[in-house]
Amino acid sequence: MSYQDLLARDFGAIPELVHTHALAQPRHLALIDGERTLDYAGLDQLMDRIAVALQRDGLKQRDVIAICATTSLEYAATFLGAVRAGIAVAPLAPSSTAESLAAMVKDCGARLLFSDRTVGAALAASGVIGAIEQIALDESHSGRSFQDWLTQAGGRPTAIEVDPDAPFNIIYSSGTTGLPKGIVQPNRMRWAHVRRGSDSGYGPDAVTLISTPLYSNTTLVSFFPAIALGGAVVLMPKFDTRMFLELAERHRVTHAMLVPVQYQRIMDFPEFQSFDLSHFRMKFCTSAPFSAALKRRVLERWPGGLVEYYGMTEGGGTVTLPAHLFPDKLHTVGKPAPEHDVRLVDEHGQEVGPGQVGEVVGRSPLAMMLGYHGLPEKTAEAEWFDKEGRRYIRTGDVGRFDDDGFLMLLDRKKDMIISGGFNVYPSDLEAVLQQHPAVAEAAVIGVPSEQWGETPVAFVVRAAARDEAAEQIRSWVNERLGKTQRLSAIELVDTLPRSPIGKVLKRELRDAYTRR
């Protein structure tokens, strides 16, 4: 059976697609990690060895393993091998504190922890991880050797019948507002991502460059379609602008998923035009606000299409903007994807009328989380039900639809500033700040004010070789803002605090401002 026949099914298993490619194109490259490579026959065999080893250790369908390590061939194969055995994966961020890692491992009930030298050393020093067995993917002394743990080649795992509603993975939120929540994504949701991938040009002749961490859903929505549809995947353990461009040119890359800060760094790279990027078919962006000006720069200078995805790790309604097809809609995030229902509701949970502002909620019959692991109350808080009882996921974002049905995001609901009784959206102020030639990056937060309740303050990273004072920039910006929007202060900073996938951590800005 061909992989196209498998894709025609309403539901299928990603490991089955990998096996199909191993039979049809055994020597076709699947994974590239520096000078190391793995073809589809080798990947399929390694997945079998991992699945057999997990079953040998007593893990059963619906059990969980955790992986906390730098991106590598072994990381990718372990994820896929676990899925072949029906075991859910909790990919964890190595940048987390040892205490947070221990809490996430305990929360998901992981039976094994796959780590590397850096993570293993941090956990050993803290003494908080407990008795869970660790496997060292990089052959360090952080745990049992990965090669020793594997079974011999040639064995086949016990076949399992894949349940569409069983957990595929548990992805933990960033934890910027407390203990991270485990977002349980079912097999059905990942299958929907794979089927969508064929519409984006993924296939056996595609080469996808992965430059964000494998623990992030941003990465996985690109990685799984790329590998399940038979293409080659180039792995970057850590993003570096020059290295990204060199790899893209060397491997004739056709697809990449990037976050806005990566696009910004690539577009600002002085030698950008010297690299041959002519093989690109499609570039994607998600996870953080993507300014219209930056989208325009990418379209003008980088071959291939550009698609922005707006959605959540929790799933629900996905909105897409094929920017190359709608250059006059770059200020929006696009229209709801096919079979995705996106609506706006007010603070009372009532749908708002055309052109009105409301919180974005969305649903999809296939791509929605099961819930937050072990947190039914938090799950309920994230849900909204329409009059027919259909379940939607709340995004926490505020937006409105334009007359053509394109969604314009105004801001995070929690980041909205209420100043003198008026709603002030930081994104509006940030857009004006970005127009000043001295501003490289900007983030606006609300701080307490005796006079107004809250007042907006901006944190600005100045562009290279610019020395304008904060007050000069503030005066320029306030001349272009409405009276209720004006900035009360600008703080000049060297960098903005960001998550590993590029989101500005506004809570850290608020905390730092409050401490001062």
SS (H, E, C) 38-54: EEHHHHHHHHHHHHHHH
* Residue 96: strand, helix, or coil: coil
Q: What is the pLDDT of residue 174?
A: 65
Q: Which domains does the chain have, with CATH numbers?
A: 3-238 (3.40.50.12780), 311-411 (2.30.38.10), 416-515 (3.30.300.30)
Confirm if 471 and 492 have CB atoms less than 8 A apart. Answer: no
Beta-ladder partners of 444: 458
* Inter-residue long-range contacts of 17-26, CB under 8 Å, 24+ positions, other chains counted: 17/194, 17/228, 17/229, 17/230, 18/43, 18/44, 18/47, 18/80, 18/227, 18/228, 19/44, 21/204, 21/230, 24/230, 25/204, 25/230
Tell the burial category of 332 from Cβ atoms under 10 Å away from its Cβ (0-12, 13-18, 19+).
buried
What is the DSSP pairing of strand 407-412 with strand 391-401?
antiparallel
End-to-end CA distance of the chain: 65
Query: Helix or strand or coil: residue 151?
Result: coil
Between CA 426 and CA 510 the distance in angstroms is: 13
Q: What is the pLDDT of residue 416?
A: 84
What proportions of the chain, in percent to the nearest 5, are helix, strand and coil? Answer: 35, 25, 40
Query: How many angstroms separate the CA atoms of 38 and 44, rounded?
Result: 10
Spatial separation of the C-alpha atoms in residues 126 and 103, rounded to whole Å: 13
Whole-angstrom CA distances from 317 to 201, 324, 336, 506 are: 22, 22, 7, 25
User: Residue 313 CB: number of other CB atoms within 10 A?
Assistant: 18
The beta-carbon contacts of 471-476 under 8 Å, at least 24 apart in sequence, are: 472/438, 473/433, 473/436, 473/438, 473/439, 476/436
CA separation for the pair 362, 125 (Å, rounded): 43
b/e string for 132-160 if b means 16 or more Cβ within 10 A? bebbbbbebebbeebeebbbeeeeebeeb
Please state the pTM of the whole predicted model.
0.88
List, run by run, the mean pLDDT of 10-residue segments along the chain (516 residues). 89 96 98 98 98 98 97 98 98 89 93 94 80 92 93 93 96 68 97 93 97 95 98 97 98 96 94 98 93 95 98 95 98 96 95 94 95 96 96 95 96 84 86 94 91 91 93 96 91 91 89 84
pLDDT of residue 178: 54
Task: Specify the pLDDT at position 430.
Answer: 93
Cα→Cα distances 53→16, 46, 134, Å: 19, 11, 14
- Burial class of 119 by CB neighbour count within 10 A (0 to 12, 13 to 18, 19+): buried
